[in-house]
Structure 1
Amino acid sequence: MSNYQGKVVLVTAAGAGIGSATAEGFARRGARVMLSDINAAAGEATTERLREEGFDVRFLRADATEEADVEALVRKTVETFGALHVAANVVGDAHRDASGPEFHQQSLESWEHTQAVSLRSVFLSMKHEIAYMIDHGGGAICNVTSLAALLYVGASGAAYAAAKAGVVRLTKFASVSYADRGVRVNCIAPGVTPTEAYNKAGAEMGQMVIDHLLPFQPIKRVIATSEQADAIAWLCSADAGMVTGHVLPVDGGWTAR
């Protein structure tokens, strides 16, 4: 397990799912962690649970699609902990887009919502994280994309696939642009990882989505959020010091087909 003693980590969408597991994973590795989420109740609950275990964590509510919120989040992280070494940008939402109308029937409102939550949030987060890092010795960033960015996934709609493909390109662009200034940028592409998002349309619908996707995954079991968090922690660690611009599928072999 990578050691993050003395490191400061910022995690978005940390109230639940992969974000919550990521915040916990960094905390258990010794990091001081700033958690953020648009859902204050969920974020505060996760933070309180980790603080009860003795971890040095804080929470700040922020809407990652709003630049003022993101700028304030990075500033508050530095003010609270004195630095920012690592960021995990986990925000994303397919709910309004997934399993909905066909591409030619999709509303502009749905398209723009998905682009904002799944792509604009990553752009804004990286913009302000990198601005700090390049003036303070560098750092490491991991974004969360999707298999829908790499191949056709019928349960994901066009807007989500396009937004997550944008995350891949932003990751690669930033990785080259800032490599000589000490900032590494990678992303993971999760396979079938049940989170609260799967159940937004109801537990039965969430299970139907899992049942539909799992046959495409050679390792025929769902992936734990902690396994995605482990991949993020590795990519941001010194053990991956020469890894940048990489898209790591944590997908049970799906993309190897």
Structure 2
Amino acid sequence: MSDRQRFEGRSVIVTGAGSGIGEAAALAFAAEGGRVTIAELDAAKGEAVCKAIVDKGGIARFARTDVTDEASVKAMVEAACAAHGPVRHAFNNVGAAKPGSLETLSLEDWNWTVQISLTTTFLAMKHEIPVMKANGGGTIVNTASMSGRIYTQSAPPSYSAAKAGVIHLSQYASCAYAPDNIRVNSVLPGLTATPQIAGMFTPEQQAEVAAEHQVIHRSVQPWEIAATVLFLSSDDAAMITGRGIEVSGGGAHPG
């Protein structure tokens, strides 16, 4: 358990919590006293993260969730409230892409990527925000991407467009719900050493991409994203809302 307990007794949702950034954030929230709902489609992965938290003395429950299905998202939020109290913090962390250029990408693959990488954020916030409004406020952090802000050859146009949408949707929500004491921010990871990235790039290729787009020439670690998510979710960041925070090793547009 952490010496800091910024989320003691608070109900927390983490979507896509079965691996990578989501797993790191779920473990970190629980270590600081959060009562975490692990929202994940893959039951084996979600239950494993839940067990890891409980084995360390934390509080967590697994909710098998298809974040592309509104009924599933709604049920997950309701279950989180029933188990841990009204949701106070949410980290919406889902995204994936099918490869292809503007010329070769099929409409089916475009729609799939936008649904996974943007629509899921909309659905999560749609059901998290009413709970927060009714219970004095809360915080939301959404996972965007540096590819939503700059051009990178490694990201297809569908993913770049979807994650740009996440950045703006987060800013929109921050303005719309500030009167309800709800803060909304996004994190923009650079190339991050997740299982998904490991399946796409060798370590050598990751180093090449990092060297091309970042001033710190290595992949970002999931725990480094999680640390930023926890800061933005905590009372330490009480005056930060509507921001897209880059955690990218100094990522910038090449040239």
TM bin (shorter chain):
over 0.9
Moved more, 157-166 or 247-256: 247-256
Amino acid at match of 1:212: E
Q: Tell me how far apart the structure 2 counterparts of residues 213 and 179 of structure 1 sit (CA, whole Å).
A: 37
- 2:240 is equivalent to residue 243 of structure 1: yes
CA contact (8 A) 1:2 1:233 kept: no
Q: Structure 1 length normalisation: TM-score?
A: 0.94
Q: Which of 223, 226, 229 is the equivalent residue of 1:229?
A: 226
Structure 1 contact 2–237 (Cα < 8 Å) conserved = no
Task: Find the counterpart in structure 1 of residue 210 from structure 2.
Answer: 214
Q: Deviations over 1:144-186 (max 9, x none)?
A: 0000100001100000001001101110000000001110000
| Alpha carbons 1:21, 1:226 under 8 Å: kept | yes
What's the secondary structure of 1:189's corresponding residue?
Answer: strand
Q: 1 CA distance for matches of 2:109 and 2:199?
A: 16
Q: How far is the alpha carbon of 1:240 from its aligned partner?
A: 0.5
Superposition deviation, residue 2 in structure 1: 6.1
Measured in 2, the distance between the counterparts of 1:187 and 1:234 equals 12
Kept in 2: contact 1:2–1:239 (CA 8 A)? no
Structure 2 unaligned regions, length at least 5: none
In 1, distance between residues paired with 2:158 and 2:191? 19
Report what 1:9 is aligned to. Answer: 12
Q: Distance in 2 between matches of 1:58 and 1:76?
A: 9
TM-score by length of 2: 0.94
Match of residue 138 from structure 2: 139
Query: SS of the residue aligned with 2:158?
Result: helix
Amino acid at match of 1:78: C
Q: Check whether the contact 1:175–1:184 (CA below 8 A) recurs between aligned residues.
A: yes
- Do the aligned residues in 1 keep the contact of 2:148 with 2:161 (CA within 8 Å)? yes
Q: What amino acid maps onto 2:242 in structure 1?
A: G
Q: Distance in 2 between matches of 1:67 and 1:55?
A: 29
Identity among equivalent pairs (%): 38
C-alpha deviation, 1:200, in angstroms: 3.3
Q: Which residue of 2 aligns with 1:198?
A: 197
**Number of residue pairs aligned between Structure 1 and Structure 2:** 250
SS at match of 1:200: helix
Offset of residue 131 of structure 1: 1.3
| Mapped partners of 1:184, 1:133: distance in 2 | 10
Residue identity opposite 1:244 in structure 2: T
**TM-align CA RMSD:** 1.4
- Out of 53, 58, 62, which is 2:56 matched to? 53
Which residues of 2 match residues 165-184 of structure 1 at below 5 A?
165-184=164-183
Structure 1 residues without counterparts, runs of 5 or longer: none
Once the 2 structures are TM-superposed, how far is the Cα of residue 6 of structure 1 from its aligned partner? Answer: 1.9
Look up the equivalent residue of 1:35 and give its one-letter code.
I
Cα contact 1:4–1:30 (8 A) shared by 2 = yes
Conserved? CA contact 2:6–2:33, under 8 Å: yes
Q: Equivalents in 2 of 1:256, 1:250: separation in Å?
A: 15
Q: Distance in 1 between matches of 2:176 and 2:196?
A: 33
